[in-house]
């Protein structure tokens, strides 16, 4: 009987270790999402900004990473911009209580628009829907809602 219990315990521990390893290896693939854009590079950046505003979101800043690298004397690369945006209602409700202020590190939501060497334009972003599953209560609900709204902002732009 002791032997069977010992084997069950070892099997349980090995199962937990295997599950943990799978999560460790696979989770990063689910945390970022990238898709082709239907539009050219600059059109994609403008369309994301316009769509965000149409959906009641703000676009506080667009970062031109390619230009920044050139100014810092790095070798020229393909075009890349980061569009920062947020929905003020969700952001305010999520950040108002002190216990949720730590989530400010996730804001604003950023969408990377980049051009590959072959000219293909991509739209990449943090998969906030998956991330919201790790936050209980109000924070998770608001992150999940913001993720759905964010996807609506870009649904006509991505393939």
40: CATH: 3.30.310.70
Cα dihedral: 93, 96, 97, 100 (round 10) = 80
Report if residue 1 sits inside a domain: no
Which of the four pLDDT bands, split at 50, 70 and 90, describes residue 24? low
User: How many domains does the structure of the chain reveal?
Assistant: 1
- H or E element at residue 45: helix 41-54
pLDDT in tens, 26-61: 555 667 889 999 999 999 999 999 999 999 999 999
The domain of 135 spans 31-154
Which neighbouring-strand residues pair with 62? 83
Given pLDDT bands bounded at 50, 70 and 90, which one contains residue 106? confident
pLDDT-derived band at 122 (thresholds 50, 70, 90) equals very high
> What's the CA gap between 37 and 87, in Å, rounded?
22
Two tokens, residue 62? 């667009």
pLDDT digit string, tens, across residues 134-148:
777 777 888 888 888
């Amino acid at each position: 009987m002791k032997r069977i219990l010992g084997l069950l315990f070892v099997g349980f521990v090995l199962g937990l270790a295997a599950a943990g390893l799978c999560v460790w290896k696979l989770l990063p693939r689910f945390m970022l999402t990238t898709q082709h854009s239907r539009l050219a590079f600059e059109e994609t950046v403008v369309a994301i900004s316009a769509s965000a505003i149409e959906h009641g979101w703000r676009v506080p800043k667009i970062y031109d990473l390619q230009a920044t690298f050139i100014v810092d004397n790095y070798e020229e690369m393909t075009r890349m911009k980061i569009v920062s945006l947020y929905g003020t209602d969700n952001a305010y409700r999520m950040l108002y209580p002190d216990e949720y202020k730590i989530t400010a590190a996730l804001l604003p939501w950023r969408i990377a628009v980049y051009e590959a060497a072959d000219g293909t334009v991509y739209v990449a972003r943090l998969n906030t829907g998956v991330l919201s599953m790790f936050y209980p209560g109000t924070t998770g609900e608001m992150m999940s809602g913001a993720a759905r709204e964010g996807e609506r902002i870009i649904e006509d732009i991505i393939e």
